[in-house]
Amino acid sequence: EVHLVESGGGLVQPGGSLRLSCAASGFTFSSLGMAWVRQVPGQGLEWISSISIGPSPTYYADSVKGRFTISRDNVKNSLYLQMNRLRDEDTAVYYCARFAVVGWVIDYWGQGTLVTVSS
């Protein structure tokens, strides 16, 4: 069974940094692309970053480009999101998600981790 478990969320001040982790199990992690998607409270889902099966290439939404960095460790079956220069508007639940074996679709999601940016 596929499991994606996020960790690392919490309260951080504007301008600060945070690193999210996602532990994957139940599938061959190194064979599939992965993504981070967030949901600002009361708003919709927003794709923010993806990574292919290797360390690169990586892809980012304009809203986080230059501030966030996605990475993966295929030995530890883990996905990461380094978030720098955080802003109030980055407050959201961050979901780890995996691309399906076939096709460009996310088929499994983690339960999410809440990041709150506030002074």
Partner 1 sequence: QSALTQPRSVSGSPGQSVTISCTGASSNVGGYDYVSWYQKHPGKAPKLMIRDVSERPSGVPDRFSGSKSGNTASLTISGLQAEDEADYYCCSYAGTYTLVFGGGTKLTVL
Which residues bind to partner 1, rule: CB under 8 A? Answer: 33, 35, 37, 43-47, 50-52, 57, 59, 61-63, 95, 99-100, 103-112
Q: Write down the least CB distance from residue 99 to partner 1, Å.
A: 7
Q: Write down the least CB distance from residue 13 to partner 1, Å.
A: 26
Closer to partner 1 by Cβ: residue 18 or 37? 37
Q: Write down the least CB distance from residue 77 to partner 1, Å.
A: 19
Phi first, then psi, for residue 43 (nearest 5°) are -120, -175
Closer to partner 1 by Cβ: residue 42 or 119? 42
**Between the CA of residue 15 and those of 25, 27, 96, 112, what are the distances in Å?**
33, 36, 23, 22
- Residue 57 exposed, middle or buried by CB count within 10 Å (0-12, 13-18, 19+): exposed
Closer to partner 1 by Cβ: residue 15 or 54? 54
Closer to partner 1 by Cβ: residue 102 or 119? 102
Q: Write down the least CB distance from residue 10 to partner 1, Å.
A: 18
